[in-house]
Structure 1
């Protein structure tokens, strides 16, 4: 059974099919790439998988306790709680909050302390808060951000803001992490550091990662399998070597004839 199974997924905006009849599967602990030219429908597909958009047709099923459960029609926060975390092409941090608070906000969705305990600030509430804070700092330390816990997110360098967004997504304890162009705007050294970081995330957290990225060296270096979109349709799927030599991909994405 696949962890995530997508069949014939379609999204129409008026007369335009931004995503058309897309099928794909993700297994446990995989690192999979999703590539394609600008306007190919990659971010639209992410938005469909994470509940930002509802598909015009098709199915999205997530394996939970050995059963497939449909994600279609569910709210974004429900899908996050079910185990799908994501970052965005344009960084979406709470820029006027501290680094620590950005992570704690994500963690509170998993906080099971009751409403009464929260309202009356019971010992159970404070114990839970301390536990979450310790977990957040531990997570930030993995990404070398534990010394920045009191800094406002907006004051971090660009590369650190990118890392913080990944930390915040991981704080929701996802089964699948969707990374939408995490290397966008990074210099070569930052990209190299990110490549190592993505490998570390998969190894340490044992989760599945689906990566949208235009930096082909990053995709080819870290991904086990790659899907290729063009004009909203899936035109290829295979290993990095297979994709690199695929004539349709070369023509659509790499500029070949």
Structure 2
């Protein structure tokens, strides 16, 4: 069984079909790209996979110990199953510190009982200490440890992008969706992000599905690539195959990938 299987997935908004009969499989520990022109339906597909939208038809199946049908589940329930995401538009808690942003995510996976929290029992403080250690460990990996007490709003754009990935990883996902993580980054930041994505896939034992417009990043890190156009899959294959696919080239207005 693949880790994630998308079968004949369709989403209609009134008379508009945003995603049409899409079939995708993701195996454990794969790093897969999802590309396509603006308006192709990439983010809509992410929203269907993470519970933001309910499919009009089709199935989203997640296989861990058992097969879970994700259709209709709320986003927080899907997150608890081990699927996490970043967003095209950064959604940090801007008035919280870097460390606090990560702790919020950790609190969704490591909860104390109500009585323990209210009475501030020793186990409560021990749990808080463990969470902070884990948060700081993640910040070190992403070179954000020295910014732990800095407000998220005071980070550079590239640092905010990295913090959003840290926060997603703090939920301990098995499958991570990255929605245009390099958007707005300069070439140096993009190069650093490329290496970071490779590293986190290996170190965190993750499957990653990546939406990205930066083709150099996609071709460098992805093992397989799916291509969407007008809500339909038009190609799937290895990076070399996608580069040479005439239909993909045409979808990008004849430009080279």
| Normalised TM-score (structure 2) | 0.98
| Normalised TM-score (structure 1) | 0.98
> 1 CA distance for matches of 2:20 and 2:166?
32
> 2 CA distance for matches of 1:253 and 1:171?
36
Partner of 2:133: 134
Are positions 1:246 and 2:216 aligned together?
no
1:120 is displaced (CA, Å) by 1.6
Q: Deviations over 1:137-179 (max 9, x none)?
A: 0011000001111000000000000000000000000001100
What do you get for the CA RMSD once the two structures are aligned? 1.0
> 2 CA distance for matches of 1:29 and 1:153?
30
Partner of 2:67: 68
Partner of 2:39: 39
> 1 CA distance for matches of 2:131 and 2:193?
26
Runs of 5+ in structure 1 lacking a partner?
none
Q: Which one is further off, 230-239 or 103-112?
A: 103-112
> 1 CA distance for matches of 2:29 and 2:253?
28
1:254 is displaced (CA, Å) by 5.2
> 1 CA distance for matches of 2:121 and 2:255?
65
Three-state SS of the structure 2 residue aligned to 1:110 is: coil
Three-state SS of the structure 2 residue aligned to 1:18 is: strand
Question: Aligned residue pairs: how many?
Answer: 256
Are positions 1:9 and 2:9 aligned together?
yes
> 2 CA distance for matches of 1:253 and 1:202?
28
> 1 CA distance for matches of 2:111 and 2:191?
38
Are the structure 2 counterparts of residues 254 and 192 from structure 1 closer, same or farther at C-alpha, using a change threshold of 3 Å?
A: farther
Partner of 2:189: 190
Partner of 1:58: 58
> 2 CA distance for matches of 1:107 and 1:255?
45
Moved over 4 A (4+): none
